A and B are shown apart, each in its own frame.
Chain A
């Protein structure tokens, strides 16, 4: 990524770097490659000598297969996947059972209650507790200080807001008692700017770009979580070599039947190159738009043709992620 020293200095204010936090919550709309960012960030931290924990909050496990292909699921207990890099999967019922057990030391009774079909029914129908207990478990893991950095694969945007907003809602809905107290601990964790960072992941396309701008505004206003950069994923590089900005038009001008050593005909070459050029221009335009609308510096990750398909790809993303973010100039004309 082209960057001059002045830009780098501007982009790195006094706030701590991405690997110096204790908790990074990665969020983004489905399809933005959030999971790869989580894996790459964890890898970068582990390479920097940190003890890292990756937390999955989804239905299945997506991050562990990226970090350790073919490994069995890490489950709620978690497992070290690489030296210094542990992953676990928070299953809400298990987290709830653990919480209740820890709180009241009534494991036998808790188990009895959890097996109760009516209780399951009540819980299945009740909104909010999954988010709260998941954040609570994260709080607890962080308190144990077994890890320098916890990276959370948060639910997709939309639900991502509610995910972080639940402690606040509980605090205002519950009058007193342990639940309210614990929710306020969790809220303090979310709102601690030196320790906790929310990392939004966006794609440089029209709708995801607008949605990201909206997300960042709401996070700042409603949730009070620190956001200091936006990751713009899968940014395609321009295929054009220097000195040939109009290459697609030149290819289109060549005789349509021309045979160049068995290559596809020039109109096909022109269409393929043209497609790649438009994609790159579009990505650049929306990358800049994200930067301007959020007022945040941008971390750009490259587009990979085949997606993230191996450890090399992940290493590449990991290196790009810890680069200082770049501030997009206010009156960029691209």
Chain B
């Protein structure tokens, strides 16, 4: 009987305020914390550092949403999820939003009943091979052994690519990125395939990155974005427009350095004024404070700052903006207008 009591106290400690199907915003506010699903560890996107603080590009988005909703970028509970558990965690309400470089696909949107609220990284699947193999194109990979991280769309893309090019391959499914690298470096597979961003991040950690080349072919579209449950449109809007605010902020030149000044008084640009809440009532429309976007931008900077800090060219990951540049710079980032 004593033991069952212990279970009872445990239950009391463990039961957390649940998330009902509707009104995620109210739940988050009542809880005072945002539950954000991230990966168990992918450098640059989401990984705890030596002190246990989560860092990364996806993490930055979680913090921005928490800042917009709760006013505190640290009011986030990061819930590590695997490829297998991420969708259930979101569907069952364990997490409020999922920012885990998840590819936006038709079936995930419609069959699994999720709502993708935008795209924070345009990615595509690529191949990395040792330079000594002398391979210059993915079309030459007939008969190769390929390491894939299991539980992602990459497995399906890979099968499609080799089938449509009438080539054979030997797949080696691997659970974590770290183990995939180990296999690849030990020569247990000829090719490592994952999203191009992941390849760059992986290559950066090698002892001799120069011995490996990323092949030019990108065999799939991988639009990665945050997602929420179907059916709570208010909450979906908050996540969507927080992301848009970060993108628009870069376009309009609002950064974490100058956002406080700009928000101090209304300026010349009406759109900046509307985003920062010095003009109009956008905050009221979305159900947040007037300065919601200011806090979101202050949390980690605008989109460009997040990119440069976590995965940009000055980091070990060293990704260039590419498709993820603003539309004004020839990229695909294009935030709808704030009005």
Do A and B form a real pair? no
